[in-house]
Amino acid sequence: MKHLLEQELIEDREGRSSQLVSILIINWNGKAHIETCLRSCLDLRYPRYEIIVIDNNSTDGSAEIVKSQFPQVQLIELKRNSGFASATNAGITAARGAYIAILCSDITVDSMWLSYLVEAMMDSDQPRSSKIGIAGGIIYYSQPSDVVWGGPVNMDLMTGSAWHPNAFRRSVQHVTDFDYLSGGAILIKREIFERVGTFDTRYFLYGEDVDFCMRALRAGYQLKCVPRARSSHLTSMDGKVSLRAYYLRACSRIRMYLKNFPFRFLFSTIFLQVLVRPIFEVILFGQHPACLLLSISALKANLLRLRETFIARSKVQALGKCKARSRVKDFIMIALVWLSNRRYYRL
């Protein structure tokens, strides 16, 4: 039996009962984490929610764990691994809630996580026509549990670099000036999908959260960071990624730049991200030397799809002006932090 939250937290100002939230958990070969993730969701103190696991054709038996141990959870089994964005869209289609929460299967949430995010959407300091459309908390590493893994992110249009304002900090500051929220644990109003569309399936892995937040901002919605909405990423602080993951991330970054960045920033961003960044990662952070070749290959792959990307770009521009801006000074400061924390560097 779920715990009940205090009445003032689960009802809005007119006394209406709380809205149904659909929690979408995207899983691919998450056998090591899916049970822990689901048990944390079932312990949430928010009173009205459904859980939908979208399995991307896992081969490790994780879908069978959901079937056998969590009969109260809806399971959608896709016939092939179509990527994070495509799986999320399948969940959105099946969801019944007025709010859509998106979780990766390797993330656990605190019992009040969802309550705090829904409360933020109904902030009493905001007018009834509040445009807060996406809310997210702070995601910590599981070990050590007091170091920030994800949450609000700043991005510099001049270099294409992105960073967490609270990265490597033990005490999280209240963040109001940021450009997007990490998509591993966020809450979204359903109406946004009707206004700006669902997630872009051209991002197989990585980048879909950046793209979606940038579209929502263009359309006039606001993002909100809720530091007390805590979650944990079940991973260690290891900066190395596989070469396949590196390539997929590079492909997504370049597509995101081409689709969303103002033209005047494209040359500098692509030059620095495709050529300069991989060199620094190899020399300073011990990444594989093949990263430079993979980055160039990712650029070639995007150029082959340039016409399709620019068609998508025209639709994005129709939503409104780009809200991100150049943050070169901030980037220089955070780069110094990265250099002093090489051991914990995240690509």
- pLDDT value of position 16: 45
The answer to whether residue 153 is domain-embedded is no
- pLDDT value of position 218: 97
The count of structural domains within the chain is 2
**Whether pLDDT at 131 is above 60:** yes
> Coil, helix or strand for 234?
strand
- pLDDT value of position 167: 65
- pLDDT value of position 86: 96
Higher pLDDT, 73 or 144: 73
As a whole number, mean pLDDT of residues 288-312 equals 96
Higher pLDDT, 335 or 36: 36
The answer to whether residue 271 is domain-embedded is yes
Mean pLDDT of the chain: 88
Pairing label, strands 99-104, 21-27: parallel
The answer to whether residue 82 is domain-embedded is yes
- pLDDT value of position 17: 57
Q: To the nearest whole percent, how much of the chain has pLDDT over 70? A: 87
Residue 54: half-sphere exposure toward Cβ, Cα within 13 Å: 26
- pLDDT value of position 281: 87
Instruction: Kindly indicate the confidence band of residue 287, based on its pLDDT and cuts at 50, 70 and 90.
Output: confident
Of 51, 82, 106, the position where a domain reaches its end is: 106
d(CA 268, CA 4): 52
- pLDDT value of position 240: 62
Position 62: which residue type? S
pLDDT single digits (tens) 217-266:
999 999 999 999 999 998 755 556 789 999 999 999 999 999 999 999 99
As a whole number, mean pLDDT of residues 97-108 equals 97
CATH number at residue 32: 3.90.550.10
As a whole number, mean pLDDT of residues 142-164 equals 88
Higher pLDDT, 128 or 292: 292
Q: What share of the chain is helix, strand, coil (3-state, %, to 5)?
A: 40, 20, 40
The answer to whether residue 251 is domain-embedded is yes
**Whether pLDDT at 20 is above 50:** yes
Q: Which range marks the domain in which residue 89 is found? A: 19-106
The answer to whether residue 237 is domain-embedded is no
* Burial (Cβ within 10 Å: 0-12, 13-18, ≥19) of residue 321: exposed
Alpha-helix residue ranges (DSSP H) falling in 95-242: 113-121, 190-196, 208-218
User: Which is nearest to 166 in space by CA: 41, 346, 325?
Assistant: 346
Q: To the nearest whole percent, how much of the chain has pLDDT over 90? A: 72
> Coil, helix or strand for 10?
helix
Of 58, 73, 106, the position where a domain reaches its end is: 106
Sign of CA dihedral 24, 26, 31, 33: negative
Contact, 46 vs 18, CB < 8 A?
yes
Q: Who's near 128: CB < 8 A, 6+ residues apart? A: none
- pLDDT value of position 236: 56
The answer to whether residue 57 is domain-embedded is yes
- pLDDT value of position 14: 34
The answer to whether residue 170 is domain-embedded is no
Sign of CA dihedral 323, 103, 251, 286: positive
* E strand or H helix at 231: strand 222-236
Q: Where are the beta strands (DSSP E) in 28-159?
A: 49-55, 74-77, 99-104, 107-109, 132-143, 148-150, 152-155
**Whether pLDDT at 114 is above 60:** yes
The answer to whether residue 275 is domain-embedded is yes
How many contiguous H segments (helices) and E segments (strands) does the chain have?
13, 12
Of 78, 106, 134, the position where a domain reaches its end is: 106
- pLDDT value of position 168: 61
As a whole number, mean pLDDT of residues 95-105 equals 97
